Structure 1
Amino acid sequence: LLNGSVYPKIIFGRTEVIDNTLNPNFVRKFFLDFFFEEKQNLRFDDIATMQLCANKLDKKDFFGKSDPFLVFYRSNEDGTFTICHKTEVVKNTLNPVWQPFTIAVRALCNGDYDRTVKVDVYDWDRDGSHDFIGEFTTSYRDFSRGQNQFNVYEVLNPKKKGKKKKYTNSGTVSTFLISAFYLFYVLPNRTQLNFTVAIDFTASNGNPSQPTSLHYMNPYQMNAYAMALKAVGEIIQDYDSDKLFPAYGFGAKLPPDGKISHAFPLSGDNENPNCVGIEGVLEAYFQSLRTVQLYGPTNFSPVINQVARSAQDVTDGSQYFVLLMITDGVISDMVQTKEAVVNAAALPMSIIIVGVGPAKFDAMEELDGDEVRVSSRGRFAERDIVQFVPFRDYMDQSGNQVLSMARLAKDVLAEIPEQLLGFMKTRGIEPRPALSSSELPELHRLI
């Protein structure tokens, strides 16, 4: 079990070995620190267990038969081969049965099931000058079919084949048994996260066709809006099972009549604002830049209320809504926005606001109620549900966009778990029981 990220891989541990079974039930537990706001890649290595036997191999020993063993080679990109496994020697037989052995699929074929695997058959000699009996080639995909008529391989000796017209083979090797399994476990989604995006299309961002614009579509690197969207979205999408994300724009004039909208779907479909995956959101964002006219003002409340209407229909703890708003300037409808935030605080909902560009965002701090709860008309928000950050504070000085995005995501998402728990506690919603073993995803198994 390995942890993979932009940092070096760390081996956390290995499972116990369970002998003589094709259906192992591992019980060793691994305890890992989980960080909602970070991308933590876990890799579970594919493991194959093989057993092979041979029939009618060539006799190589003068006073006996042969002492055969197998050598497995992985093919490399340059056409060469690298040894990856050697079996034990079975003494004095032309029909050996080798002991089962276990090998990581990655070591056998670099994870490419169709990559050539070469197997040499030798007769062992005490002095190390082992006699070559023959060879055959296959692939892990063929191996994984298990024992059948297609997994009987002719052992061929090229020198003998070239010299003897009646030469057929130097014996055969069969896959007597093979089992392979890989562990693939997905954390059970006991609470479904629904992720929504809202992007500022006001004229203060500048003409998207000009390099000075915050919306400029540089063919070589992402603009700040795309970076913020991708940074947050790529982490939170793993908690949204259907990967369908409503995406809105605000502050633009829409074709054909130039009507100003503060909650228009980037998909262009008023009946279906969903985009498929974060890449789908990015595509819709870039397409909208080509079709709408940046205008104004910067009104937040329509989009917040739009998401709140969805959240108010599901308050049993089964779903939680996260709205990401990316903007370049000061909110124009602060009074209405504060009212919307106070109302949303009573719902299963959080709001992330990312400020891009050089503007002063002092007024935004009023919504981020870390010290003083947002209030409207004498009512205070039940919970602090807004997290505001200016993207410029997370930009890497060397221009490393990946690092900048990782820093941003880690900070803006850090409060989501506590905000979610805060809602559950205020509503008296108890954690759901853990999944029973029968409900857990099965081990995916190749046999």
Structure 2
Amino acid sequence: MAAKGKKGEPLSIMVELTLSAKDLINRDVTSKSDPFCVIFARDRKTNELVEIGKTEVIKDNLNPKWETKITMEYRFEERQELNITVYDFDGDVNKKHKAESEYLGNAVCTIGEIVAAPFSKFERKLELPKNLAQKNKDSMIVIYCEEMGDNKESFQMTLSGKGLDKKDLLGKSDPYAIVSKKNDDDEGWTEVFTTEVVKKSLDPEWRPFTGHTVKLTGRNPTRPLRFQVFDHDKHSKHDLIGEFETNWEDLCRFARQSNPIAMPLINPKKKEKKKGYENSGVLNINLQVDETNYTFVDYLQTGVQLHFTVAVDFTASNGNPNDAKSLHSRVADQDNQYTTAIKSIGSIIEDYDFDKHFPALGFGAKIPPDTEVSHLFFLNFDPQNPFCKGVEGILEAYQQALRKVRLYGPTNFANTISHVAEFAKTYQDGRHYFILLIITDGMICDLDATREAIVLASKLPLSIIIVGVGSEDFSSMEFLDGDKRALKHNGIEAARDIVQFVALRDIIGKFGNDHAATRAALGKQVLAEIPRQLCEFMHMRKTSTNL
């Protein structure tokens, strides 16, 4: 359930976690372990781990699937670290875990990583106790995440049969239908819907049934679905008339082409024995889907990737990096305002990028070998491979660039925005969304060109975050942020607001020397609008999560 905040305010989303584990170690002598799982969250203020929930105990099982759900609040704009620990029950589950239970393994992750896992399934290797490592296999924790609240898509399905096989000796068949979905572990099926029995009919028409799409798909539109028709028998096993397999994605596609959908029912045994066998009748499916707006979590869980790019201002107004007062100061073991911004935002965004390789750009410097002013260059000076591995890779490339370039000017944004927009223009399939972070110390010199670049980019899967460092006049930056009025260029209005500006000095003024609190507050403030901006783009493009 999402709390609908005002524009620019963070959205509070409640998610439900379902946990299971695979190949746990056995710490019981005469039987198997009796595992239960505890989830702790790290408190940002105290840095301590606080328990947020625990599962029930499952007896004698090294591959438990716990039924107890853990609910928690998910906030995209914050880095929420979780510690997931599995214990072997030995006493009272409500007592101190370590005192009464034996440790079976531990995993550390963020709720962002869990939410962003494709099709809601997150897996991570458990770190095992020392000297208890297993040969040839790893203990794993598996977490399924689902947003709480109303489901976003519902359907009505009406099934009817035509020309079904006759199964009863003294009359016609008494058919009923079952719709099942494949289990997540690919082992077996789970019944989702069962129709009523229609007496003595080879052309049955069953009552319509309704439900939420997620009940069939588990947020995976290609999850196998099985349709079976049986002949009901009071005194013996029900006879299979025929069956077929499909998936939700194909059903929707078939329904757009022809509704109702006619699917032949196949009886495997008859097909194997009878030459010239075609089918055991036809199952007609009339499908009506009620689509509504999807949420940010829906898009993440169907595989949308966030791509992060950082661009750094290397103009001379930042001051000599060798000077402790410079905004680019290189004091050992101390963050300057640029590294503070990179860490604050990058540490959150990297949980949503699968390979964690990020382009890092610079502008406003004279660069080697010709010492000419560049309004766009790669921080690692490798145009063939401009990517940095994680936030640490960005910071390393930034420090190397400081040693190679000469700070100069002017402060131009248009080249950087247009560069990232070109990539966004290539990926408009609803699977990718780009976030550009620009960190700068001064007024924009190419304001008209920047305004044009933003207006053009407003139709693309792109958001722009501008963090102002230092004490310069940032009025032009605030003008680009369309919170109060729509941005225009030559009479053309931006399709949507894609810019968020924050002056770092305003946050530092609140938290002073508390660097951890400053980083957390900065990340929270500048990322608060990203979920809304992504959803606006998807809705504008009428992008479905089933793409």
TM > 0.5 fold call: yes
Does residue 6 (structure 1) correspond to residue 5 (structure 2)? The answer is: no
* 2:456 equivalent among 336, 343, 352: 343
Distance 2:413 2:330 in 1: 24
Flag the structure with larger Rg.
1
- How many angstroms does 1:185 deviate by? 3.7
Q: Cα RMSD between the aligned structures?
A: 2.5
Q: CA deviation at 1:9?
A: 3.2
Q: Is the 8 A contact 1:237 1:278 kept in 2?
A: yes
Please give the per-residue CA displacement for 1:168-211, whole angstroms capped at 9, x wherever unaligned: xxxxxxxxxxx995525487462100000000000111111112
Identify the residue that residue 338 of structure 2 maps to in structure 1: 225
1:421 aligns with 2:535: yes
Report SS of the residue matched to 1:229: helix
Residue of structure 1 equivalent to 2:234: none
Question: How far apart are the structure 2 equivalents of 1:29 and 1:243?
Answer: 30
Q: Deviations over 1:341-377 (max 9, x none)?
A: 0011100000000000011101111100001111111
| Matched residue, 1:382 | 495
Larger RCO, structures 1/2 (Cα 8 Å, 6+ apart): 1
Please identify which structure carries the higher strand content.
Answer: 2
1:328 maps to which residue? 441
In structure 2, C-alpha distance between the alignment counterparts of 1:356 and 1:341, rounded to whole Å? 21
Distance 1:267 1:386 in 2: 26
Match of 2:110 in 1: none
Cα gap change, 1:2 to 1:189, in 2 (>3 Å): farther
Equivalents in 1 of 2:105, 2:467: separation in Å?
A: 41
Quote how far apart the aligned CAs of 1:15 are: 1.5
The match for 1:410 is: 524
Question: What corresponds to 2:62 in structure 1?
Answer: 22
What's the counterpart of residue 277 of structure 1? Answer: 390
Assess if the C-alpha contact under 8 Å between 2:442 and 2:474 holds in 1: yes
Aligned mates of 1:24, 1:276 — CA distance in 2: 35
Amino acid at match of 2:416: V
What TM-score do you get using the length of structure 1 for normalisation?
A: 0.68
Contact 1:49 1:180 (8 Å CA) reproduced: no
- Aligned residue number for residue 249 of structure 1: 362
Q: Give me the whole-angstrom Cα distance separating, in 1, the residues matched to 2:474 and 2:313.
A: 14
The match for 2:141 among 171, 175, 183 is 183
Q: Percent identity?
A: 45
Which residue in 1 is equivalent to 2:544?
430
User: 1:46–1:182: 8 Å Cα contact kept in structure 2?
Assistant: no
Q: CA deviation at 1:272?
A: 1.9
Q: Which of 46, 59, 68 is residue 86 of structure 2 equivalent to?
A: 46
State the alpha-carbon separation in 2 of the partners of residues 402 and 203 from structure 1.
28
Partner of 2:514: 400
C-alpha contact 2:302 2:546 (8 A) present in aligned 1: no
Distance 1:425 1:286, change over 3 A: same
Alignment deviations for residues 247-282 of structure 1 (CA, whole Å, 9 cap, x no partner):
000001111212111110001112221111111111
Contact 2:379 2:401 in 1 (8 A): yes
Conservation of the 8 A alpha-carbon contact between 2:43 and 2:50: no
Q: Contact 1:189–1:239 at 8 Å: present in 2 too?
A: no
Structure 1 residue 113: Cα displacement: 4.9
Aligned partners of 2:318 and 2:441 also within 8 Å: yes
- The equivalent residue for 2:74 is 34
**In structure 2, C-alpha distance between the alignment counterparts of 1:397 and 1:318, rounded to whole Å:** 38
Secondary structure of 2:70 counterpart: coil
Q: Whole-Å Cα distance in 1 between the matches of residues 138 and 330 of structure 2?
A: 47
Per the TM alignment, residue 33 of structure 1 is displaced from its structure 2 partner at its CA by: 1.3
Gap change, CA 1:186 and 1:330, over 3 Å in 2:
farther
User: CA separation in 2, counterparts of 1:277 and 1:180?
Assistant: 25
Deviation at 1:27, TM superposition (A): 2.8
The corresponding residue for 1:103 is 102
Query: Which whole-Å deviations, capped at 9, do the CAs of 1:419-438 have from their partners, x for residues lacking one?
Result: 000000101112349xxxxx
Structure 1's 303 and 379: CA in aligned 2 closer, same or farther, altered over 3 A? same
Distance 1:114 1:232, change over 3 A: same
Q: 1:231 is aligned with what amino acid?
A: S
Matched residue type, 2:141: L
Q: 1 CA distance for matches of 2:451 and 2:526?
A: 20
Q: Where do residues 36-75 of structure 1 align in structure 2 (5 Å cutoff)?
A: 36-48=76-88
Distance 1:400-1:12 versus aligned 2 partners, 3 A rule? same
Tell me how far apart the structure 1 counterparts of residues 487 and 504 of structure 2 sit (CA, whole Å): 22
Aligned residues: 325
Cα-to-partner distance string for 1:297-333 (whole Å, 9 max, x where unaligned): 1000000000000000111110000000000000000
Code of the aligned partner of 2:530: I
